[in-house]
Amino acid sequence: MVDETHPTSPGRNPDGKPPGTLADPAMLDKIDRLFACNVGDYIDLPQVVVVGDQSSGKSSVLEGLTNLPFPRDSGLCTKFVTKITFRRSPMTRIAITIIPAKNSSTEHVEHVRGWAKADLRSLDEKTFADIMKEVHTVMGLSEQVDGMTPPTFSDDVLSLEVCGPKQEHLSIIDVPGIFKKRTQGLTSKADIQMVKSMVLGYMKNPRSVMLTVIPANVDIVTQEILEMAEEVDPDGQRTLGVLTKPDLVDKGAEKTIVDLIEGRRHRLALGWLLVRNPGQQELTDPMTDRHALEKSFFSHEQPWNSLDKEKVGIPALQVRVRVILAEHIRRDFPKVTLELNKELKRCKNLLSDLGPKRDTPADQSKYLIDIATRFQENVALALTARYWGNDIFDQDPSLRLATAVVLRNNVFATTVEKCGHTFCFKPQSATDSEAKPEADGSKPDEERLFHTRASKSNGDIEDLIRENEELPVPEGDDILGWLTNVYDSSRGFEIGTFDSSLLALTWKKQSQKWDSIALGYISDVIAMTHTFVTDLLRHVCPDERIRTGLSSLLMDGLMERYKKALTQVEFVLEVERCGNPMTLNHYFNDNLEKCRQERMRKTMSTKSFDGGSHGTVVLLDAIMENHPMSNMEHIVQDLHDILQSYYKVARKRFVDTICMQAVDHHLISGQGTPIKLFSPAFVAAMSPEQLDEVAGEDPRQRHKRKQLQKEVQDLEAGKKILI
């Protein structure tokens, strides 16, 4: 039974005196309390873990270290992790509780937390055995449930806390022993892997010190537990080798063990220790004193009596374990604090991303309204180009909508001006943008074409918008020849003039590229707008499931608004190109007069002379001379001038109308634009069914929220411990 007066109580030197203070007891206590509130499930805590196979003598070593009478019944062997903590306290007491596994059901958590043994004054072998039977039952390792065979091992943790005025701080974790062969009716192949995985989980903790228990009477090279230790700790910085059963070592093989203990073979940074456990016959004798037997063995048996006394025996192991644990805690304690705060911040951020609980339509509506409000706040920033208002505009250039649209407007206007006409007009002045360019037959084919689209389409709207087209750049085809052919093939009985329908006919031909250019332009702006909506939604709503639901719900409304913009472009095209050419703009008359004056100036320039102070002079007789130009040529020239003058006025009107009505009103600034669809008003109009479908939490998310809430709760409790 636990004895406060025993000279080899945990943490005492072989002479029975407690060692000097190795670490702040308060610091050691805090680490244990962190384990108790499950912080060890989330961050790595300093700990000592006893590992070995089932026949290594691990349980006997643990009994010697802790002075606890662990049951020797094979049915009560270690089937779960046991955490044993000793601490100094004015009152002598023993408390036994069960810490539920991390992913346990609510029912199981309540069940195991409802069991406890508190305020025990002592713990003899029979009492301990009875308690262990209860623990097996509580963990569900004893009885069949609904005809199902109970599991052999549990992920729950048994916690034993031993307090007393003479106890020295020590904390040890015992894990089930690994094994290679299954026992019929008791263990299976799956159990072999489960136990190995469980043990590795504790060994992989970079702050775990591993007490690797290995029998001295076997070849250590073949020991799986040592291979596992080398796998997770290749440099041996946190592996303490513990050899057992020196009394069973074959004659002649002792030197191998001595070389290990003295560091000449298989060196470990923490070294090797040798202990002697009681044999089976000695265990059955109630008068056996394991400590006296061990002390006698290492004092008289050769070659063991020649070994350093600090490397043999349970008392030496107790001191060594306590020193190592204290050093690790002192070294890693600041890191534990930092990691706890970091993990707590991460969990809170994840919980914040999930938003508040959304079990009712009111909760769901409030959650979506908050998202919609943030969405519209960023829309306002994007439309006014106040990109400094949110970092997302630096992170995602596609959100700079105002800038993108303005740039595309300029490209549209330039494209219509430079490439929108079919034939180049005869130049009337040096500034005519539609005038015939200088011939350049050396241009490659790609420079003789232009594209109607400037951006890629979003897959969601590919069926709605126009594909990119390649159209020829006007290269100065003979417009007068074309007009002559049109007039010649369409003339009626007019005398000295042309029918008004001829202007409509030539106008439609001359502006035929406007359809593709305008539809390409509106398609680009629709694509920009849709990308803006989807990208901004991604920023304000990180939850992919909710974002997908919102996108699906918004899509019909978005498509309707995109179609309105396209319809407006088609309407303007029909009005401008298919109706009667019409304008009340006085610039038409001004342009026409300039055309006629410029032609007259060119005609008279050959008959002019310098009139000195009067400038360039043309004689009236020269003006009255007969010019060699037929009536048809006069009509064609007049048709050319009227078409050119009207084209300039109509082009500017067309560009402005498309930009203002189709783009700005229907896509950007109007009340019914796509970017203003997702708003608090939109959410308020959603039905309870829609709210639940979009914002209701699915079982997976509810489980995630519950896990995060538990982790935050545990870490918050841990943070209070560290303060």
Q: Confidence band (pLDDT; 50, 70, 90) for 439?
A: very low
Q: Confidence band (pLDDT; 50, 70, 90) for 18?
A: very low
Q: Please say whether the dihedral angle defined by the alpha carbons of residues 628, 630, 635 and 639, taken in this order, is positive or negative.
A: negative
Whether pLDDT at 147 is above 70: no
Phi, psi of 498 (to 5 degrees): -135, 155
Q: Confidence band (pLDDT; 50, 70, 90) for 5?
A: very low
Percent of the chain clearing pLDDT 70 (strictly above): 84
- Residue 571 CA to residue 565 CA, distance in Å, equals 10
Domain ranges of the chain: 25-143+152-349+714-722, 362-583+633-696
Whether pLDDT at 233 is above 50: yes
User: Element (H or E) spanning 279, and its range?
Assistant: none
Region of poorest pLDDT, from 186-190, 260-264, 300-304, 468-472: 186-190
Nearest of 34, 640, 547, 76 to residue 332 by alpha carbon? 34
Q: What average pLDDT does this structure show over 112-131? A: 87
- Residue 421 CA to residue 39 CA, distance in Å, equals 74
User: Element (H or E) spanning 425, and its range?
Assistant: none
CATH number of 25-143+152-349+714-722: 3.40.50.300
* Neighbouring residues of 380: CB distance < 8 A, sequence distance ≥ 6: 386
Would you state the pLDDT for residue 587?
Answer: 72
Q: What average pLDDT does this structure show over 407-413? A: 95
DSSP code for 120: E
The count of other CB atoms within 10 Å of the CB of residue 547 is 17
Placement of tokens 């002479």 in the chain: 15
pLDDT in tens, 235-280: 889 999 999 999 998 888 899 999 999 989 889 999 999 999 988 7
Q: What average pLDDT does this structure show over 280-303? A: 84
DSSP line for 156-172:
-EEEEEEEETT---EEE
Nearest of 379, 371, 376 to residue 353 by alpha carbon? 371
Would you state the pLDDT for residue 609?
Answer: 63
DSSP line for 298-327:
HHHSTTGGGS-GGGBSHHHHHHHHHHHHHH
Whether pLDDT at 393 is above 90: yes
* Highest-pLDDT range among 108-117, 215-224, 464-473, 515-524: 515-524
Percent of the chain clearing pLDDT 90 (strictly above): 39
* CB-CB contact of 324 with 678 (8 Å): no
Q: Copy the structure tokens of residue 653.
A: 């009107």
pTM of the model: 0.58
Would you state the pLDDT for residue 79?
Answer: 85
Whether pLDDT at 441 is above 80: no
pLDDT in tens, 472-527: 888 766 788 888 888 777 776 665 566 667 888 888 888 899 999 999 999 999 99
Q: In 143-264, at which residue ranges do the beta strands (DSSP E only) sit?
A: 157-164, 170-174, 208-215, 239-244
- Edge-first strand order for the sheet with 157-164 is 116-120, 93-99, 157-164, 81-88, 170-174, 47-52, 208-215, 239-244, 272-274
DSSP code for 669: S
Region of poorest pLDDT, from 57-61, 181-185, 636-640: 181-185
DSSP line for 30-80:
HHHHHHHTTGGGTS---EEEEEEBTTTTHHHHHHHHH-------GGGS--S
- Residue 137 CA to residue 154 CA, distance in Å, equals 11
Q: Confidence band (pLDDT; 50, 70, 90) for 10?
A: very low
pLDDT in tens, 154-172: 889 999 988 888 887 778 8
Q: Is 380 left (phi over 0), alpha (psi -120 to 50) or beta?
A: alpha
* Highest-pLDDT range among 69-78, 277-286, 326-335: 326-335
What b-and-e string marks burial along 298-334, b requiring 16 or more CB atoms within 10 Å of the CB? beeeeebeebeeebbbbbbbbbbbbebbbebbeebbe
Would you call 457 helix, strand, or coil by DSSP? Answer: coil
* CB-CB contact of 31 with 325 (8 Å): no
User: Element (H or E) spanning 652, and its range?
Assistant: helix 631-657
DSSP line for 105-120:
-HHHHHHHHT-EEEEE
Would you state the pLDDT for residue 550?
Answer: 95
Q: Copy the structure tokens of residue 174.
A: 């015992």
* Chain centroid to CA 457: 26
User: Element (H or E) spanning 237, and its range?
Assistant: none
Q: Is 374 left (phi over 0), alpha (psi -120 to 50) or beta?
A: alpha
- Residue 368 CA to residue 358 CA, distance in Å, equals 10
- Report the chain's mean pLDDT, rounded to a whole number: 84
Would you state the pLDDT for residue 421?
Answer: 87
Region of poorest pLDDT, from 143-152, 289-298, 455-464, 472-481: 143-152
Would you state the pLDDT for residue 145?
Answer: 52
Would you call 716 helix, strand, or coil by DSSP? Answer: helix
Q: Confidence band (pLDDT; 50, 70, 90) for 16?
A: very low
Cα atoms in the 13 Å half-sphere on the side-chain side of 569: 27
Q: What average pLDDT does this structure show over 212-233? A: 91
pLDDT in tens, 562-590: 999 999 999 999 998 888 888 787 776 67
Q: Is 509 left (phi over 0), alpha (psi -120 to 50) or beta?
A: alpha
Residue 23: what residue type? A
Peptide bond into 444 cis (omega under 30): no
Q: At what angle do helices 500-510 and 631-657 cross, to 10 degrees?
A: 50
- Residue 264 CA to residue 239 CA, distance in Å, equals 16
Would you state the pLDDT for residue 482?
Answer: 85
- Residue 717 CA to residue 723 CA, distance in Å, equals 10
Q: Confidence band (pLDDT; 50, 70, 90) for 17?
A: very low
Q: What average pLDDT does this structure show over 538-559? A: 93
Would you state the pLDDT for residue 409?
Answer: 95
* Neighbouring residues of 505: CB distance < 8 A, sequence distance ≥ 6: 486, 490
Would you state the pLDDT for residue 552?
Answer: 93
Whether pLDDT at 612 is above 80: no
Phi, psi of 440 (to 5 degrees): -145, 90
Whether pLDDT at 432 is above 60: no
- Residue 474 CA to residue 276 CA, distance in Å, equals 101
R_g over Cα of the chain: 45
* CB-CB contact of 460 with 555 (8 Å): yes
Cα atoms in the 13 Å half-sphere on the side-chain side of 25: 12
Q: Confidence band (pLDDT; 50, 70, 90) for 54?
A: confident
**Secondary structure in 3-state letters for 354-415:** HCCCCCCHHHHHHHHHHHHHHHHHHHHHHHCCCHHHCCHHHHCHHHCHHHHHHHHHHHHHHH
Region of poorest pLDDT, from 300-314, 418-432, 683-697: 418-432
Q: Please say whether the dihedral angle defined by the alpha carbons of residues 325, 330, 334 and 337, taken in this order, is positive or negative.
A: positive
Vertex 650: Cα angle to 648 and 652 (nearest 5):
70
Going from the C-alpha of 562 to that of each of 310, 465, 523, the distances in angstroms are 83, 9, 9
Q: Output 187 or 535, whichever has higher pLDDT.
A: 535
